[in-house]
Chains A and B, each alone.
Chain A
Amino acid sequence: MLLVFLGANEIISALEIGSFLGSIEVTFVIATAAAGFAVIVGTPFAYLLARHDFRFKEIVDAIVDLPIMIPHVIVGIMIVLAFASSSGLSPFFQAIGFNVIDTLLGAIIAVIFLSATYPIRIFEGAIRQVDPDVELTARTLGATPQFTFIHVVIPKIWRSVANGAIIAWARAVAEVGALLVVAYYVLFNGSLVSPASIYIYEAYEGLGLAGALKFSAALVVVIFAVFIVYRVILRYARKMKR
């Protein structure tokens, strides 16, 4: 609040700077891709964790939690090692033109990994709350496991899916550490653009506290507005369902 209060006079001027708007735009693209991935891949994956026991499940569980255990710079280094070094499968990826350094793709891969833990755990908890007999009943009525998941389980946990998606989105917007290594700039709409968090970090480094304040305040206001709009839409959707 202090940040917004002190920077209030300059929020509008910050939002008139094209490079800053570009950084917000690229951040939103990256974050929305992370949220979409969390929903599309994260929900079936969470279902697997919630409903099935399998060999080495503890290791898979630990990998899911890994991003919240380690400094995010390390994740950036892991991505560089995996896709853009001379070790492992990196030469193969480079040979087929799969480039992650300073690309939108690299930035998305980094934030997907770093933001996936929270939605997966949210989805998993919600799925555990669904009575397995509901699924069995659907199956006895002729529904395949896939049909049951989409038409019975998802409608029961849609609020958690919506919450998981916005948490993944927010976590992706907030990411700095891994992006410093993987995607300091990304090629976006023909020009090199920094994600918003790095843009503000650069402003702080180059212009000092006063220079970073207006961009910080502007980003907080924009994200806050996105959250409010999202909650209003969810509330409206909930009413429509009743």
Chain B
Amino acid sequence: MLELIDISLTLGNFNLGPISLSINPREYLIVIGRTGSGKTTLLKTIVGAYSSKGRVILEDQDITAEPPEKRNIGYVSQSFVSFDHLDVNGNIEFGLRIRDIPKEERVQLAKQIAAELGIEYLLNRSARTLSGGEQQRLSLARALITNPKVLLLDEPLSMLDPETKRTIIRILKAIPARYNVPVIHVTHEWDEAYTLADRIAVMDQGKIIEAGVPEKIFDQPANRHTAKLVGFENIFKGKATSNGSASEVQLENGLRLASSTNYSGPVYACIRPEKIKISNNQGRDDLKGRIEEVFREQSGYRIIISTKNFEITVITKDKLVKGEVVVVTIPKESVHLIPAM
């Protein structure tokens, strides 16, 4: 088990922490955050690249002052890292060579892990000739062969094409159970996080602002930044008034919305674009607007609608035309309220 206690550090103008976080045996923890939120800095602090305040406890041992080579923490960098003067086998067994493992055993172990990760056929190839997916599997094999106590993955899918990504996701998902190691994986992609995580921690401006199981984070985020990150593209500030079992929200943009969340007080009303419905029929005048932009997407069309007082983003299967006047309907179940502090 890895435990971070009040970790903090300053790098130039950026402040990380204080962060307290723990990861359980064989847990897949995703740290999600926007670019520049401090995810990579957090990983590099755990691995020992930066010295920080606070304590890093790994399996009941305080490793805060230990250099990276003494921590036994596996690390897969965001960029494809290969020791390109070595072949794939040389890369995989690099950590074993340092541990003075006899050559025969090294070869055997490298062959075994390469087979498990589907790169056995590459063992004699030069590392510099590999594709992105092969490089990433090589990085995983090289990190896992030393039996690390924790595996840290820095955006391991960010440089891969969609098909390769799907292959690597299957490999990643199996790692905690197969290699008996907890994984901390950082990303800014919420679908990647949702697919892989046992638990998600959300980072913003160097701090963990929220943590929980994926369903909770994605359906009921407790923080406006989290909501934005996980796909609530429409966020409006307002004041909610409870009516017993639900709420009525008066937004600052003049709009009144119903929400199934029962709350009174200042709020952010958060609405996913795919939950909003569009029609050409008559409806509420304050929800009538003109289509400003239409973007084609894999799941349909992303439409920006401008009403008298606000702009709203909708995802729909219907092919609509720029300039068309439509009416939006916002079901009260899709209006998630977050208390505004």
> For A242, what are the chain B residues with a Cβ–Cβ distance below 8 Å?
126
Q: Which of A120-163 contact B (CB under 8 A)?
A: 131, 133-134, 136-144, 147, 152, 155-156
Complex: A184 Cα to B71 Cα, angstroms: 57
Q: Is A141 touching B81 in the complex (CB atoms < 8 A)?
A: no
- Report yes or no: B74 in contact with A140, Cβ–Cβ below 8 A: yes
Across the interface, A133 reaches (CB within 8 A) one of B81, B84, B95, B98, namely B81
Residues of chain B at interface, number, CB under 8 A: 29
Query: Is there an interface contact between B69 and A144, defined as CB atoms closer than 8 Å?
Result: yes
Kindly identify which residue among A136, A140, A142, A155 contacts B83, using a CB–CB cutoff of 8 Å: A155
Report yes or no: A142 in contact with B98, Cβ–Cβ below 8 A: yes
Q: Are B98 and A136 in contact (CB under 8 A)?
A: no
Q: Is A52 an interface residue (CB 8 A)?
A: no
Bound-state CA distance A102–B43 (Å) is: 57
Give every chain B residue within 8 A of A147 (Cβ-Cβ): 98
Whole-angstrom CA separation of A143 from B81 in the bound complex = 15
B148 neighbours in A (Cβ, 8 Å):
140
A241 within 8 A of B: yes
Contact B77 A139 (CB under 8 A): no
Q: How many angstroms from the CA of A142 to the CA of B75 in the assembled complex?
A: 11
**Would you list which residues of chain B between 85 and 111 have a CB under 8 Å from chain A?**
85, 94-95, 98-99
Q: Is the beta-carbon distance between B69 and A133 smaller than 8 angstroms?
A: no
Known: A143-B69, A242-B126. A138 touches B83 (CB 8 A): yes
Q: Given the complex of chains A and B, what is the CA–CA distance between A195 and B157 in angstroms?
A: 60
In the complex the two chains form, is B77's CB within 8 Å of A137's CB?
yes
B71, B94, B126, B142: residue with the most chain A Cβ atoms closer than 10 Å: B94
Most A CB within 10 A of own CB, among B47, B69, B71, B143: B69
B85–A142 CB distance below 8 A: no
Q: Are A141 and B94 in contact (CB under 8 A)?
A: yes
A133 to B79, CA, bound (A): 8
A139 to B71 Cα, complex, angstroms:
10
Determine if B78 is an interface residue (Cβ-Cβ < 8 Å): yes
A156→B69 CA distance, assembly (Å): 20
- Contact present for B69 and A142 (CB under 8 Å): yes
CB-CB under 8 A for A155 and B85, given A138-B94, A143-B69 = yes
By a CB distance below 8 angstroms, the chain A residues around B73 are 140
Please encode chain B, from 142 to 160, with 1 for each CB lying within 8 Å of some chain A CB and 0 for all others: 1100101000000000000
For chain A, give the interface size range.
Answer: 10 to 19
Give bound CA distance, A156 to B85, whole Å: 7
Interface of A is mostly: helix
CB < 8 Å neighbour of A156 from B71, B84, B99, B139: B84
A137 contacts B69, C-beta separation under 8 Å: no
Q: Let me know if B81 and A131 touch, CB within 8 A.
A: yes
Q: CB distance A131 to B79 under 8 Å?
A: yes
B169 within 8 A of A: no
Min C-beta distance of B85 to chain A, whole Å? 4
Query: Cβ of A136 and Cβ of B85 under 8 Å apart?
Result: no
Which residues of A have CB within 8 Å of B142? 137, 141
B266 within 8 A of A: no
Contact B143 A140 (CB under 8 A): yes
Give CA–CA (A6, B69) in the complex, Å.
Answer: 62
| Complex Cα spacing A152 to B78, Å | 18
Q: Tell me whether B85 and A140 are in contact (CB under 8 A).
A: no
Contacts of B99 in A (CB 8 A): 142
Give complex CA distance A91, B166 in Å: 74
B54 adjacent to chain A (CB < 8 Å): no
Cβ of B67 and Cβ of A141 under 8 Å apart?
A: no
- Give B74's nearest chain A residue, CB to CB: A140
Q: Is the CB of A139 within 8 A of B83?
A: no
Q: Is the CB of B71 within 8 A of A141?
A: no
Quote the shortest CB–CB distance from A160 to chain B (angstroms): 14
CB nearest to B44 among chain A residues: A136
Q: Check: B68 CB closer than 8 A to any chain A CB.
A: yes
**B49 in the interface (beta carbon within 8 A):** yes
Asked if A140 meets B84 with Cβ closer than 8 Å, knowing A133-B78, A147-B98, A242-B126, the reply is no
Question: Which residue of A is nearest B82, CB measured?
Answer: A134
Q: How far is the CB of B340 from chain A (nearest CB, A)?
A: 40
Q: Is the CB of B47 within 8 A of A141?
A: no
Residue from A139, A143, A156, A242 with most neighbouring chain B CB atoms (10 Å): A139
CB neighbours (8 Å) of A155 from chain B are: 83, 85
Closest to A242 in B: B126
Residue-by-residue, is B120-152 near A (CB-CB < 8 Å gives 1, otherwise 0)?
A: 000000100000000000010011001010000
Closest to B93 in A: A141
Query: Which chain B residues lie closer than 8 Å to A134 at the CB level?
Result: 77, 81, 83
Partner of B69, one of A131, A140, A152, A241: A140
Judge whether A137 and B75 touch: CB under 8 Å. yes
Binding site for B on A (CB under 8 A): 131, 133-134, 136-144, 147, 152, 155-156, 241-242
Starting from the known contacts A131-B81, A136-B77, 15 additional A-B residue pairs (CB-CB under 8 Å) come to A133-B77, A134-B77, A134-B81, A136-B49, A136-B75, A137-B81, A137-B142, A138-B83, A139-B48, A140-B69, A140-B73, A140-B143, A141-B69, A141-B142, A152-B83
A-binding residues in B (CB < 8 A)? 44, 47-49, 67-69, 71, 73-79, 81, 83-85, 94-95, 98-99, 126, 139, 142-143, 146, 148
Cβ contacts A to B, 14 pairs, < 8 Å: A131-B81, A136-B68, A137-B75, A138-B94, A139-B69, A140-B74, A140-B75, A141-B142, A141-B143, A142-B69, A142-B98, A142-B99, A143-B69, A156-B85
